[in-house]
Amino acid sequence: MSILVDESTRLLVQGITGREGEFHTRQMVEYGTNVVAGVTPGRGGREVAGAPVFDTVAEAVDETGANASVIFVPARFAPDAILEAAAHNVPLIVCITEGIPALDMIDVTAFLETQAIHLVGPNCPGLITPGECKVGIIPGSVVQPGPVGIVSRSGTLTYEVIWALTERGIGQSTCVGIGGDPVNGLRFIQVLEMFEDDPQTEQIVLIGEIGGTAEERAADYIQEYVSKRVVAFVAGRTAPSGKRMGHAGAIISGGEGRAEDKIAAFEAVGVRVAEHPEQIADLIEEIRA
């Protein structure tokens, strides 16, 4: 098994005719993802990588039965793209777009809370179930099937950790990049719950970073509800207070969001915390021994 995406995923690409959308659509198709449709207003009737292009999500869903969407549209259009997919009951929406204003995302997430819809992102690399389905921009060449679930706020560190595990022959069940914006869709807790319920996932890797309190809340959830062993890494140990580091949400402000507080929260509930990303593979091997 896996979480969120698998061989049954029928993917719709919003923004498929743009440079990024077309490039990554071809990468996803090459990996084996079933891309059934694309949407670009005014470009209906075209075809990209074998997928028909429609003018609206409504047409695409009606014609193809798409059950997931990935969004590659500019930031000013992305909130409406998310809402369009949600309005037509696409159960999984993955938004790669970065730079969406937090106020816009507050409105989007408020609407999604009333729907049975999962949003991954925005400003994220997407997710991949090795050997089955890739939705987004995680390189398919670095993954292999296995028992370790990965959830991460950081895109680049996700790739680095996956590769470190793969080099040791440790495969992954599903790798989920939730993004690091201050207002986003799925959080650590929701993905941890999915991994806890997934029989294929035996261990979990959580990659956090400075800013906010998502990691502290995840630590509380792990103590109460997660029986599987979790290994963590927190990026930004040396970040100065008040300076944004990478993601919009990666900022220490008002005495909250420090790496040392997040590390202490994990260690207090028995989660081993790596000092650098490559050490995650060492800790997973120790757990599996």
Residue of 207, 198, 188 lying closest to 227 (CA atoms): 198
Residue 212 CB neighbours (<10 A): 22
Task: Let me know how many helices (H) and strands (E) the chain has, helices first.
Answer: 9, 14
- Asked if 157 and 214 touch (Cβ cutoff 8 Å), the reply is no
165 and 284 Cβ atoms separated by less than 8 Å: yes
Q: Tell me, yes or no, if 247 is annotated catalytic.
A: yes
Residue in the structure block whose two tokens are 């580091």: 245
C-alpha distances in Å from residue 181, one per residue of 111, 230, 280 = 18, 23, 24
Gap between the Cα atoms of 205 and 281, Å rounded: 10
Q: Which of 24, 88, 118, 247 is catalytic?
A: 247
d(CA 106, CA 262): 25
Q: Which residues contact 197 (CB under 8 A, 6 or more apart)?
A: none
Tokens read off for 253: 């402000």
* Nearest residue to 127 (alpha-carbon basis) of 246, 33, 230, 233: 33
**What is the rounded CA–CA span in Å between residue 23 and residue 19?**
6
Picking from 215, 235, 133, 115, the residue whose alpha carbon sits closest to that of residue 176 is 133
CB 180 within 8 A of CB 151: no
* Residues 6+ away with beta carbon under 8 Å from 56: 39, 41, 44, 84
Known catalytic residues are: 247
